[in-house]
Amino acid sequence: MTATAAPLDLLLLPTWLVPVEPAGVVLKAHGLGIRDGRIAFIGPRETALKLATKETRELPGMLLSPGLVNAHGHAAMSLFRGLADDLPLMTWLEKHIWPAEAKWVDEAFVRDGTDLAIAEQLKGGITCFSDMYFFPKVASDCVHNSGMRAQIAIPILDFPIPGAASADEAIRQGIELFGDLKHHPRIRITFGPHAPYTVCDENLEKIRMIAEELDASIHMHVHETAFEVQQAVEQTGERPLARLGRLGLLGPRFQAVHMTQISEDDLALLVESNTSVIHCPESNLKLASGFCPVERLWQAGINVAIGTDGAASNNDLDLLGETRTAAMLAKAVAGSATALDAHRALRMATLNGARAMGLESEIGSLEVGKAADIVALDLSGLAQQPIYDPVSQLIYATGRDCVKHLWVAGKQLLDDRRLTRMNEQELVASAIEWGRRISGRNE
């Protein structure tokens, strides 16, 4: 892999470089060069040192990886973190979260909550995230200003939500935002019907037609709990995934979030339609929603990505920790210690997330020509020694506090754990103030 004569903007020289594609590869004594926001060179250190470059960064003891891709979340819900813990999903939603949202969620809430989530994710090695929450234009402004990359899913429900009085209004807003941002280099707009039990057939068919016309993705909670599936079967005689298949929503642009309940028929539908599944293990564990059978899906050839879900139900946006949980849980669910090995787990948190969002040609692996969305993790600490396989140490022995540097499209957004574009103290103060208001401590 060679670079042209033009000088590199930045040359990174880590101890290990894990490209993710090709699979299972760890490169030692290699360098990575960035030019105009893209990866322009990957090759041996000796060759790299001969190249003209404006800046060289030695990264001893560090592993260079594609930036992590958080394929499902509700960013602004960071401001509800810990508000209603240890409750079942529907009690949590109907008695606590939905009333809190009705009272508190406005543009200011979404702006401050999204900024808080972006900062937490950057510090955890995440370069791209999917967000499904109210006032999506406000969230997209936050992403634009932060320098991060995101998929913004327009929330659509059959009843009024903050920022949209009806499903038709939400869809109209989505079409408008899609048009406004279709050429944005870091933001992709998708449509986010909330769940099969909150969106009727008529609205789902509208969404399908519009998504097809715009070549947009659809992002939706599906089969999150056994109760959801059982209730649908009792009421209609049809499983929710089968209904979505009948309505024509499933396909390579469809992102099915959670999928803890999967029958043989469901599996066949997912395979046949080439639908992606977004696995959110910690939220599913905390709400006792069930277990997505990741290894079974993987062996069937289904693209499985990983998401944190919102901080109100997780309670963090730690994708590295989420991936470790996913790897452990996959082994327990499959009854096999070989299920979801460390290299595949990292792929799930990077390239598979990019593929689910239709961004696999742009991000998700370290390849010449792709956007320079990169994270450097420090494996030189006590807890990572000794290192036999750096990817195993990354997944099983490394926390997000080891994230040292991060770049999105070649721009450094985290430098030695310091956010370069956001003020951490101001974000903390804002979150504390929201907590005071929401808890009623100053009312």
Q: Which residue has tokens 């003209």?
A: 52
**Is 62 found in the same domain as 24?**
yes
For residue 25, is it within any domain? Answer: yes
pLDDT recorded at residue 1: 45
The answer on 394 and 346 residing in a single domain is no
Integer Cα distance of 412 and 309 in angstroms = 26
Give the confidence band of 3 by pLDDT, cuts at 50, 70, 90: very low
Same domain assignment for residues 316 and 395: no
If asked whether residues 165 and 227 sit together in one domain, one would say yes
Asked if residue 361 belongs to a domain, the reply is no
Assess whether 234 and 291 both reside in one domain: yes
Asked if residue 308 has pLDDT above 70, the reply is yes
Q: Is the pLDDT of residue 400 over 60?
A: yes
Say if residue 233 is in the same domain as residue 324.
yes
One domain, residues 269 and 396: no
Give the H or E element holding residue 226. helix 226-236
Domains of the chain: total: 2
Q: What per-residue confidence (pLDDT) applies to 105?
A: 97
* Separation between Cα atoms, residue 310 and residue 300, nearest integer Å: 28
> Tokens standing for 387?
């290192």
Is the residue at 274 inside a domain? yes
Does residue 436 belong to any structural domain of this protein? no
Q: Decide if 22 is inside a domain.
A: yes
pLDDT tens-digit map of 221-266: 999 999 999 999 999 999 999 999 999 999 999 999 999 999 999 9
Residues 244 and 375 in one domain: no
Does 419 fall in a domain?
no
Is 198 part of a structural domain of the chain? Answer: yes
The reply to whether 22 and 95 lie within a common domain is: no
Distance CA 124, CA 232 (A): 38
Structure tokens at 76: 């602004």
Q: How many CB atoms lie within 10 A of CB 276?
A: 28
Per-residue pLDDT of 118-145, as tens digits, reads: 999 999 999 999 999 999 999 999 999 9
Reported as type and span, the H/E element at residue 345 is helix 342-348
Token pair of 382 as six digits: 């006590």
Q: Are residues 276 and 301 in the same domain?
A: yes
Do 217 and 333 have their domain in common?
Answer: yes
Reading phi first (left if > 0) and then psi (alpha if -120 to 50, else beta), residue 24 is in left
Q: What is the C-alpha separation between 72 and 131, in angstroms, rounded? A: 6
Task: Give residue-wise pLDDT tens across range 14-40.
Answer: 999 999 999 999 999 999 999 999 999
Please give the residue range of the domain that contains residue 388.
10-66+371-409
Q: What is the CATH number of the domain that holds 392?
A: 2.30.40.10
Q: Environment class of residue 335 by beta-carbon count within 10 Å: exposed (0-12), middle (13-18) or buried (19+)?
A: exposed
Mark whether 61 and 104 lie in a shared domain: no
Q: Are 250 and 244 in contact (CB under 8 A)?
A: yes
143, 117 contact by CB (below 8 A): no
Contact in structure between 273 and 254 (CB atoms under 8 Å): yes
DSSP 8-state class, residue 359: -
Q: Do strands 10-17 and 56-66 pair parallel, antiparallel, or not at all (unpaired)? A: parallel
Long-range contacts of 264-268 (CB under 8 A, 24+ apart): 265/239, 266/223, 266/239, 266/241, 266/242, 267/296, 267/297, 267/300, 267/302
131 in a domain, yes or no? yes
Query: Residue 128 is part of a domain; what is its CATH number?
Result: 3.20.20.140
Note the pLDDT of residue 4: 52
